[in-house]
Structure 1
Amino acid sequence: MKNFKLTVFSALTALAMALTTTCIHAAGFQHAFAADPDGKPLEIGIWYPSQTTPQPTSKGPTTMSVAVNGPVEGRALPLVVISHGTGGSFLGHCDTAIALADAGYIVAAVTHRGDNYADQSRSVFIMDRPKQMSRVIDYMLSGWGGREAIDAARIGMFGFSAGGFTTLVSIGGLADFSKVGPTCREHPEDFACELIAKAGQAGIEPPDASPAQDHRIKAAVVAAPALGFTFSPDGLKNVEIPVQLWRAQDDIILPHPRYAEAVRLALPKAPDYHVVQKAGHFDFLAPCSAALANVAPAICKSNAGFDRRAFHQTFNSAVVDFFDQNLKHN
């Protein structure tokens, strides 16, 4: 298992270099950069409703059916921001982003600075991430050309893996990083523990004194959250918004019960909880093309009998329904 997890590091790097997933739905799309006072601008992808005819479009190695720079259709639209997992990019959940855009949402997904496919130099500095998400929201509300179409009172967040941790902190979670050392001594094979060891760190860097919660976020979807055990027993007591929580039954990257289950138990209000039978950790990523599966099998291979494409139809529908109930109907 250790060799498999170490292989994931190189597979994550291959993700954005070789991804040729085709997102088949239609949406407007823009590639932009959000200013961040803490460092270089943050690369983001923006999907949104548009009546412009979509065309097959390549963004780097990813092909999507989108209307590049098409005008935004609609007013007072809810916004959903997306935080990817360790070593990912803004493209990792493109199918979910497009499903949301088709349903009337504006979606902004970031490539986290210092924790992406090309640069993992700050992957253990996980508290960088919530601040970056706030900068993305700032940009979407004050800097993006289509900002007048956004309803600033209806903002949601989606996060996967390290992005799930990011989401929990962004909605009021307070992580206890003193738990990382003991957990890693007991479970050194856990992905986070191997990441820390690879970085030559004794543990996750502690946060600074500035608050990380962004009160503008009104609903959140969390899939396979990293470092879930750092929130128990009461680290999520300040989370007051609705949460949809997902766990892959056969997640060997973030194994049960230290991650998603720990989050479920720590949330003060029961989440909309889903356990995906036979799924692995990376099944929450957009379905892989044949080309990506060839170069990055570690993040593309699903368990026997599990159909990632079929799952994503159900997954994306459930995510849209959750945000509809908590952002559109409140």
Structure 2
Amino acid sequence: MNGKTHSILSIFHLCWQTAIVLVIIFAGAAHAEDHTFVGFQEIAVPNGGEPPLHAGIWYPTLARPQETRLETFTQLVAPDGAIAGRALPLVVISHGGAGSFAGHYDTALALAHAGFIVAAVDHAGDTFDDQRQVLKLWRRPQQLNRLITFVLDDWRDHAHVDSRRIGAFGFSNGGFTVLVAAGGKPDLNLIDPYCRDHPTHDLCAALTKAGVSSVAALPVPPDAWLRDPRIKAIAIAAPAFGFTFSNGGLNDATVPVQLWRAADDHHQLNPWYDEAVRVALPHPPEMHVVAGAGHYDFLPPCGAVLAKHAPVICADPNGFDRAALHNLMNAQLINFFRTKLR
């Protein structure tokens, strides 16, 4: 072997060793990402002329966590711990009707453990303690937009957010919210004929109980349904008002979509909700149909206090394993957003 050949082989051997080291380093970094702790902050988000919106942010941290109360839940977080990581993707969460920003805390924790920043907001006027604006559905996407703007511009750790990688997750009314933010344009005039045909369905029975004889008279602003182009991928579970998108209302919702349906959803019956959304989307979504699940199984398992005060959303009469669903769903959400928010 001459000197030149030996030099070439030495260089090749060095490059090969370097490549192996780099693979190990990157693999280790990806693995370590799933073992960071979670920091948590409660924040106030400016809301135009109204009081600030109450919201929460979960994010990776190296600070040691502690058990912390969040409404009726207990979460293992480091309150106000220093953020770890740079150029982190952001996922915003929109809760269901009469819910709160804490309503999907387990999903927020899972995503933050996986290296995401997660922000969720109380949708003022459609929370558990304030339903006065529940039919003004256009307020919710506006509030989600303000949450994103706050995290990107004014949050204390905004420099750690990658503004090019933003996703959104929503359940029920939150699914509707996220669809609008992704480009959906619902036709609320479809609610009245829907309720004439299905007066016993949950939505229609609730409207009747509230004394609302017609939704057509709602003063919908001309700029009600504005797309937020910063959102690059969405995941939705049991989206409310799905049928209002039937007439081409989702033609502009071209981002990747992960769609979850509970096979035994007796509150939002098939095919007027999830299936209506699936059909209206311009591109086929990543579809997940959960056998045996009911509408509220997309909420995390309840503790004793919540089960006592809200048995309707906590009961699983058929013995459905809600905890197992959330382990599966959270893993699928992490995989979806990692893949689509590259």
**Which of 230, 239, 249 is 2:244 aligned to?**
230
Deviations 1:170-212 (A, max 9, x none): 1000101111001011112222223322332221735311142
Matched letter for residue 55 of structure 1: Q
CA distance in 1, matches of 2:184, 2:238: 16
The C-alpha deviation readout for 1:248-295, integer Å capped at 9, x for no partner, is 001011011100000000000000011100000000011111332233
How many residues matched? 304
Aligned pairs for 1:162-201 (under 5 A) are 162-201=173-212
Uncovered stretches (5+) of structure 1, i.e. residues with no partner: 1-24
Q: Does structure 1 retain, via aligned residues, the 8 Å contact 2:99–2:128?
A: yes
CA deviations over 1:84-133 (Å, ceiling 9, x no partner): 01100001000000000001000000110010011000111111100000
Contact 2:243 2:273 (8 Å CA) reproduced: yes
**Equivalent in the alignment of 1:54:** 65
- Separation of aligned partners in 2, 1:319 and 1:194: 33
**Corresponding residue to 2:337 among 310, 313, 323:** 323
Q: 1:279 aligns with which of 270, 275, 293?
A: 293
Q: Which has the higher contact order (CA 8 A, sep 6+)?
A: 1
Matches within 5 A, 1:236-255: 236-255=250-269
Stretches of structure 2 that go unaligned for 5 or more consecutive residues are: 1-35
The answer for the alignment partner of 1:307 in structure 2 is: 321
Q: Report the alpha carbon displacement of residue 317 of structure 1 after superposing the two structures with TM.
A: 0.3
Find the aligned partners of 1:245 and 1:283 in 2 and give their Cα distance.
Answer: 15
Cα separation, 2, equivalents of 1:301 and 1:143? 40
Q: Do the aligned partners of 1:278 and 1:303 also contact (CA within 8 Å) in 2? A: no
Amino acid at match of 1:158: F
Within 5 Å, give how 1:186-225 maps onto structure 2: 186-201=197-212, 202-203=214-215, 205=218, 207-210=220-223, 211-225=225-239
Q: Deviations over 1:293-327 (max 9, x none)?
A: 23321101124241000110001000111001001
Matched, 1:148 2:148: no
- The amino acid of 1:172's aligned partner reads G
- 2:311 aligned with 1:297, yes or no? yes
The SS at the match of 2:58 is: strand
The one-letter code matched in structure 1 to 2:132 is S
Task: After TM superposition, list the pairs within 5 Å mapping 1:17-32 onto structure 2.
Answer: 26-32=37-43
CA shift, 1:61, in A, is 3.1
Preserved CA contact (<8 Å) 2:37 2:62? no
Q: 1: distance between equivalents of 2:327 and 2:228?
A: 30
- Aligned equivalents of 2:208, 2:158: Cα separation in 1: 42
Residue in 2 aligned with 1:260?
A: 274
Among all aligned residue pairs of Structure 1 and Structure 2, give the percentage whose two residues are the same amino acid: 49
Which is higher, the Rg of structure 1 or of structure 2? 2
1:220 Cα deviation after fit: 0.2
Equivalent residues of 1:78, 1:155 under 8 A apart: yes
Rounded Cα–Cα distance in structure 1 between residues aligned with 2:318 and 2:235? 27
RMSD: 1.3
Distance 1:216 1:207 in 2: 24
TM-score by length of 1: 0.89
Amino acid at match of 2:161: I
User: Which ranges of 4 or more aligned residues in structure 1 deviate by more than 4 Å?
Assistant: none
